[in-house]
Amino acid sequence: TAVPEVFAGGHKALTAADATVTPALASPGKALRFSPGSPQHLRIARPKGAPEANGLAPGLRGSFTIEFWIRNAAGSSTDNTLVRLGTNPLKALKAGYRSGYFLFEFNTQRVRTEDPVLESDMNAWVHYALVHAADAQSATIYRNGAAVGYAEGFSMPLDPADGAPLYIGGDPANPAQVFSGLLDEIRLWDGVARRGSQLQAESRKKLAIGREGLWGYWRFDTASALFVPDDSDGGREGVLLSAPLY
């Protein structure tokens, strides 16, 4: 079942990043839909042909940015996990809603939005970015390009020996924390702490392949029933588990 995105207007109207890229407006794409009451998620592991011990290495050892569009729907848990990376509970990176706030945590450190956002995020496309700046040891939550949460004291985000996959849209370790709604345009930047001005300028643009620091890019426009290609050309293919639809 396909869920076509509406690019013709509204907050999430994608355009081309440069003249070499076909504008998304010319060819509406798809978003990944998660249904209530089912522990669905997208799993992203090592590139094809990479050593078994490689996991997601060498990514996310210093500065990084994870950004995505989200549209919450009725049925979402007030506590849910939208992003999880790492198996060590003391070092794992997690992000999602907690009691109406949006929370971003790793290495037992956490930052949340200054105000509750879940109610205002319902039934509307919202862009989130989770940014770790290694030099400042800081973590920032951006909502639609504006900083809405900030904290310092964040050290190395992940255990270098942890080869766990990246989970999007759900956490297998917490199946009761269900997300219901749409996710799209997931971008993962390695070694890059993106600024609010960059997020505002490019969150509605389709990015060109080969962008420096763009470590993973999942648009869902050419996904199959089970697999989601990596549009960064990095080969980090995603696997759809428990059949989320698009």
pLDDT tens digits for range 209-234: 888 889 889 888 876 667 888 888 78
Residue-by-residue DSSP string for 47-58: PTT--GGGTTTT
Query: pLDDT-based confidence at 21, cuts 50/70/90?
Result: very low
Residue among 195, 93, 85 at smallest CA distance from 136? 195
Q: Residue 214: in which H helix or E strand, if any?
A: strand 214-218
Q: What Å distances lie between residue 182 and 33, 223, 241, CA to CA?
A: 4, 15, 15
Query: pLDDT-based confidence at 52, cuts 50/70/90?
Result: very low
Whether pTM > 0.85 for this model: the answer is no
171 or 242: which leads in pLDDT? 171
How confident is the model over 135-162, as a mean pLDDT?
Answer: 85
Query: pLDDT-based confidence at 181, cuts 50/70/90?
Result: confident
236 or 111: which leads in pLDDT? 111
Residue 146, pLDDT score:
95
How confident is the model over 83-93, as a mean pLDDT?
Answer: 79
Residue 158, pLDDT score:
65
Contacts with 7 (C-beta within 8 Å, 6 or more apart), sequence order: 13, 14, 24, 25, 28, 29
44 or 19: which leads in pLDDT? 44
Name residue 16's beta-bridge partners: 206
User: Does position 65 have pLDDT exceeding 90, yes or no?
Assistant: yes
How confident is the model over 114-118, as a mean pLDDT?
Answer: 92
Contacts with 157 (C-beta within 8 Å, 6 or more apart), sequence order: 60, 61, 64, 91, 93, 106, 107, 132
163 vs 46: CA distance, rounded Å: 9
Torsion over CA: 240, 39, 50, 184 (sign) = positive
User: Does position 14 have pLDDT exceeding 50, yes or no?
Assistant: no
Query: pLDDT-based confidence at 61, cuts 50/70/90?
Result: low
145 or 3: which leads in pLDDT? 145
Residue 104, pLDDT score:
92
Contacts with 229 (C-beta within 8 Å, 6 or more apart), sequence order: 218, 222, 223, 237, 238
User: Does position 147 have pLDDT exceeding 90, yes or no?
Assistant: yes
Length of the chain, in residues: 246
How confident is the model over 36-63, as a mean pLDDT?
Answer: 63
